[in-house]
Amino acid sequence: MDTQIAHLPSLDNFIKLSNHNINEFREKGHTLVHEVLTKDEIAAYRPVIVGAADRYNTEKRKLEERDTYGKAFLQIMNLWQVDEDVKTFVMAKRLAKIAADLMGVENVRIYHDQALFKEPGGGPTPWHQDQYYWPIDTNNTVTLWMPLVDIDVNMGMLTFASGSYVNGAVFNHEISDRIGIGV
């Protein structure tokens, strides 16, 4: 485990969400919250997360050997369980408070963390609903997507289907060639 933890900035202070963010999340099922992290905080945590992802990545197949799901992105899950510095980021009170405020609850529980990387030459990410993968029986959930690099439209930003969570699963299968290619 890393010993950098004393040098990482604390993410335990809170930011106040706007009523617009809270209302938009509750209405559409998604919102964009600006400036959750400072540039200095991103600069401190990005190498920690990338380094842990490199160390714990188990995907060894070449891109052309993978299925649609495997080509969409490289993913390393639950780094917080094996790396104390990543745990500091994943368990940050600031992030938990944002999730709680959006859902209108006092406390939140983490299901998992997931470091996702779009690889050069990788495939598109087909439309999907994250909850297909979660063994929970509520829609009162949050996925926090925190890019640690500057993103622009040419990179393929996230696209959301507003309100798609209201009626549960739109389709009940995993990311694959069976569903249309999205973003």
**Token digits of residue 72:** 């969409």
Structure confidence at residue 176 (pLDDT): 63
Helix or strand or coil: residue 77? strand
Q: What's the pLDDT score for residue 129?
A: 73
CB atoms under 10 Å from CB of 16, counted, come to: 9
Q: Can you give the pLDDT at residue 41?
A: 97
**Residue 85 contacts residue 5 (beta carbons within 8 Å):** yes
pLDDT recorded at residue 163: 78
53: nearest Cα among 74, 33, 35, 67: 74
Q: Which 3 state secondary structure label does DSSP give 30?
A: coil
Please provide the distance, in angstroms rounded to a whole number, between the alpha carbons at the two ends of the chain: 35
Question: Which pLDDT score, from 0 to 100, does residue 158 have?
Answer: 78
pTM above 0.85, yes or no: no
Q: Among 74, 158, 147, 80, which Cα is nearest to 117's? A: 74
Residues of the chain scoring pLDDT < 70: 1-6, 132, 168-183
Of 14, 10, 24, 178, the closest CA to residue 96 belongs to: 14
Angle (CA) 176-179-183 rounded to 5° is 90
